[in-house]
Amino acid sequence: MRYRFGVAVAMLGLAAPAYADAWDFILINNSGKEITLIELSPAGANQWQKNKVEEGEKPKNFKVGGRNTVHFDKAASQCKWEIKATFADTTSTVFPAVNLCDASFVTIRFNGTTPAASGS
């Protein structure tokens, strides 16, 4: 009987969902364009989540050269994230994955026409 109870408890632990943590970082917009929306996805997953804003608060645009805080939910084991920016001209670009476990600041920019992102 004890064995069955222990196995049942262990199985419940395996079936528990992976909880996400609330994370944030400072995004530095060196793209040369005003950003109206930031979304994040685990690298290669194409599962985009919007920058979270406080309830009742209106999302703010990311001015050229400006710094804004980006809030998102991060699974405990996921560190590499892609960043998608939608610009005021309604175009959007996906910037390469950045290790957000190690970066408090992320700069996005274009090298010519190639999107680039770096963290520090």
| C-alpha pair distances (Å), 65 with each of 10, 33, 34, 62, 78 | 51, 9, 9, 8, 28
Total structural domains within the chain: 1
Enter the tokens of residue 73.
């939910």
Domain contains 29: yes
* Residue of 112, 59, 57, 54 lying closest to 85 (CA atoms): 59
Mean pLDDT across the chain: 86
- Antiparallel, parallel or unpaired: β 80-87 and 92-99: antiparallel
Q: How confident is the model at residue 53 (pLDDT cuts 50, 70, 90)?
A: confident
Model confidence pLDDT, tens digit, residues 58-95: 888 999 999 999 999 988 789 999 999 999 999 999 99
Report the alpha-carbon distance of residue 31 to residue 107 in Å, rounded. 9
Domain contains 30: yes
pTM for the whole structure: 0.81
Q: Which domain holds residue 62?
A: 19-119
Which of 9-13, 38-42, 46-50, 105-109 comes out lowest in average pLDDT?
9-13
- CATH code assigned at 113: 2.60.40.2890
Domain contains 11: no
Domain contains 82: yes
Domain contains 14: no
> Mapping DSSP to helix (H, G, I), strand (E, B) and coil, where does residue 4 land?
helix
Which of 1-5, 46-50, 90-94 comes out lowest in average pLDDT?
1-5
